[in-house]
Amino acid sequence: MTDQQVRTDEALETETTRTALDSVHLEGLEVKSLTQWQLARRKFFQHRLAMTSLVVLTFIFLAALFAEFVAPYPFDTPNVPDRSLPPTLEGFHIFGTDKIGRDYFSRTLYGTRTSMYVAFIVAGVSTVVGIIVGGIAGYYGGKVDNILMRVTDLFLTLPFLAILLVLSSFLGAGNPIRVAFILAFLLWTSLARIVRGEFLSLREKEFVEAAKVLGASDNRIIFRHILPNIAGPIIVNATLVVATAILIEAALSFLGFGIQPPFPALGKLISDGQDALTTQWWLATFPGLTIVLIALCINFIGDGLRDALDPKQRIK
């Protein structure tokens, strides 16, 4: 075999190997790196209980959001001939009616919308306040940290229910927005402490020091470098605050210090039905079950988000 033939065979072998590697690449067998959010999304989709809860909660939320189209009757219209009916498919009173004939399925839908509306306002406002207070305290430290954390500790030591009742009495209960801001006023403290701890840890990292050396401003370091790295705990906490706000709002409305007529609320529906619990059990049962179902779904979703956003967790 001549040298020319040897070189020709080597060239053919090299070309065959290159073609095989290209075919592997084209067949999608190459290894692709995933971003942190892609990994989190994949882990969350693998959490069956969280996904089931997300579907159920989405269904409840959409039904409440479009209550005008889903509810078979107006929530505040009495119908004397149908008063005090137990749950029945006749007339589509599946949650029964109260003593003046108002359909309780319709009232539960509208009450769910009001409660979730309040809960989302509470979660948004308390999250913003918690991030601001915790971020400033953790990033600057020193006297600023001491002052802000002492204020946070003061809020934590206050008797929660007593302060809620006093604020509701002085500021006036009844309006959903007013009730939401009263709750947000007391529910930002836990997130503030979480954010502060994360900031204290991350401000010493190399990427923060490098940003400072390059002349980055404090605002850029906080919003572009530190906050994106603590998005996981913030999202999980905001999710759990929604469930907490729904439960507390229901308790306040039940006690008469929360949302009041003409606004429907789940806690108020339970309060209206407590006097007839033995004879008209459905008046308190279905609104109560709705609150429990919403709270469970949100907590399961929070568990799924916590597992998905935890970098120590591995994909199975």
72-110 pLDDT, tens digit each: 888 888 888 888 888 888 878 888 888 888 888 999 999
CA atoms within 13 A on the CB side of 67: 22
Domains recognised in the chain with CATH numbers: 52-309 (1.10.3720.10)
- Residue 90: DSSP 8-state: G
Query: Is 271:259 a contact under the CB 8 Å cutoff?
Result: no
Record the pTM.
Answer: 0.79
With 80 as the cut, is the pLDDT of residue 13 above it? no
CA–chain centroid gap for 142, Å, is 32
Q: What is the mean pLDDT of residues 248-254?
A: 83
Looking at residue 173, the DSSP 8-state letter turns out to be: S
Range with the poorest average pLDDT among 111-115, 259-263, 307-311: 307-311
Q: Are 210 and 299 in contact (CB under 8 A)?
A: no
Residue 251: is its pLDDT beyond 90?
no
SS3 assignment, position 29: coil
